[in-house]
Amino acid sequence: MRCANCGNELKEGSLYCDACGRPVQIVPDYNEFDDYLDNLVGNDDRRTDERKTVRPVSDKTVRFDEPVRQQLQSATQRTRQNQDRSSQSERQQARQTQTKQAQERQAQPKIQQTQTKQPCEKPQSDGQKAKRAQQKKIIIISAVVCVIAIIILVAAVVRNVGRSHDNSFDYQVKQAKEAYAAGDINSAVSYYEKALSIDSDNTDVRFALADIYMSKKDYDAALVLYQEIINTDSKSEEAYKKLISIYESKRDYDAIVALRDSAKDESILKLFADYTVSEPKLSKSSGKYGEAIELTITADSGTKIYYSYDSDNPLTRGERYYNPITLDKEGTYEITAVAVDDRGIKSEVASARYEIEFEAPKAPEVDPDGGTFGAQTDITITAPENCKVYYTWDSSDPSAASTEYTAPIPVPEGNNVLSVIAIDQNTGKCSDIYKSRFEFYMN
């Protein structure tokens, strides 16, 4: 703190200036907020001649109440009395010191000080002081409450805006795109997932999220999203293409076939043209045959064919097809066949049912067809195709153990019954037995 008269630095606790001898002017610290509160509560005690004066406060100016002021005045009077008792030489020395210090101050930047008269204050009663204090307290509390209310209001607005954003599909998508553009992949994923929680059927968001997973090589997560897209939109060619691409990279052709089998739309099925093996073809259609048949099986070039006589799974329980199959025994056959390419992609299983029941050959033709003869006569027998003919003359039924017909036979003398049968050499079937009476007597 400096002397208000000469500017000399004052020692702490000094009541007068060591340089000029002037008493230290001490008033309470000026507080503009106190004046503002005094104006609010209507305090006009600090007035002089009906005009309020406010003392601008310089460096260390302090303001006290009346009791302190009286003590200050007493100390000042004592100081003055001590100065009067001082010798003339000491006062002269003090004035020289003062002159020297004044010259030094002129060489330094001027310190501007503005002083006004200390306002006169009327004494206040304890009740007035308590009332003022209470009024100030109310104003301060009200101000604090207002500030708190504003803070709460701002927080509520921010919270409501945040909730509004949390429930906004467009906002989440926008934030996801901005985060992805900024390279913040994790935040982009989080925003897209929030968007899906709002609109779970949105396929565009699933595509965007799946693309992110694909870029991160998280194929399993991308597969789930593409499958969900197909479940929502069964005609999404883009989702099918993405799934085929992923399965192809994994060489999971069974999954591609399963995906193909789940597709119903014709335009989607065309996407699997390179992952489809045609069903094998059998040379004869299902049916009943009266003779032995030979089957050939064909399939796409570069495929292997497997077949079975009695199984619905020829790949595991059948045998490899190389040559035509002959069905030369009576009975029923269930033929199944499948084709497999080098990737292990299988065709649909082809199947056919064949019932083989051979037809009996026709009865042989005999010439002459019985009768009475007076001269030697030869009998000619014509056998059906693939058949051998056997005969007897004693009316017994012929069999393969009987006499085989190889050339015309003469009619024996007497009254005889010729019995003839034809046996198919391929099927073993027998014709009906031919019987006729032949009589031959020599004249």
Residue pLDDT, tens place only, 254-308 = 999 999 999 999 999 999 999 999 999 999 999 999 888 999 999 999 999 999 9
Q: Which residues have C-beta within 8 Å of that of residue 394, sequence separation ≥ 6?
A: 416, 417
Mean pLDDT, range 322-329, rounded to an integer: 93
Give the DSSP H or E segment for 271.
none
pLDDT band (50, 70, 90) for residue 44? very low
Q: What is the mean pLDDT of the chain?
A: 82
- Answer whether residue 111 shows pLDDT above 50: no
Give tens-digit pLDDT for 9-18. Answer: 877 767 777 7
The Cα-based distances of 395 to 190, 308, 420, 434 in angstroms read 102, 48, 10, 10
Q: Which residues have C-beta within 8 Å of that of residue 251, sequence separation ≥ 6?
A: 343
Which pair of structure tokens corresponds to residue 318? 């059948």
d(CA 407, CA 416): 19
The Cα-based distances of 17 to 22, 79, 129 in angstroms read 5, 10, 35
Q: How many residues does the chain have?
A: 443
- Answer whether residue 316 shows pLDDT above 70: yes
- Answer whether residue 55 shows pLDDT above 50: no
Mean pLDDT, range 14-36, rounded to an integer: 64
Give tens-digit pLDDT for 405-434. Answer: 999 999 999 999 999 999 999 888 999 999
d(CA 355, CA 288): 5
Residue keyed to tokens 């005690």 = 45
Give tens-digit pLDDT for 192-247. Answer: 999 999 999 999 999 999 999 999 999 999 999 999 999 999 999 999 999 999 99
**CB count in 10 Å sphere of residue 131:** 14
pLDDT score for 37? 55
Look at strands 293-295 and 325-327 and give their pairing. antiparallel
d(CA 142, CA 137): 8
C-alpha closest to that of 272 among 261, 287, 280, 281: 261
The Cα-based distances of 237 to 180, 266, 441 in angstroms read 25, 11, 96
- Answer whether residue 150 shows pLDDT above 80: yes
pLDDT score for 73? 61
pLDDT score for 182? 94
d(CA 377, CA 385): 26
pLDDT band (50, 70, 90) for residue 327? very high
Q: pTM above 0.95?
A: no
pLDDT band (50, 70, 90) for residue 20? confident
d(CA 369, CA 324): 44
Which pair of structure tokens corresponds to residue 192? 């897209």
d(CA 374, CA 376): 7
pLDDT score for 110? 46
d(CA 424, CA 434): 15
Q: Which residues have C-beta within 8 Å of that of residue 341, sequence separation ≥ 6?
A: 277, 300, 302, 303
* Percent of all residues in the chain with a pLDDT value above 70, rounded to a whole number: 74
Mean pLDDT, range 81-100, rounded to an integer: 60
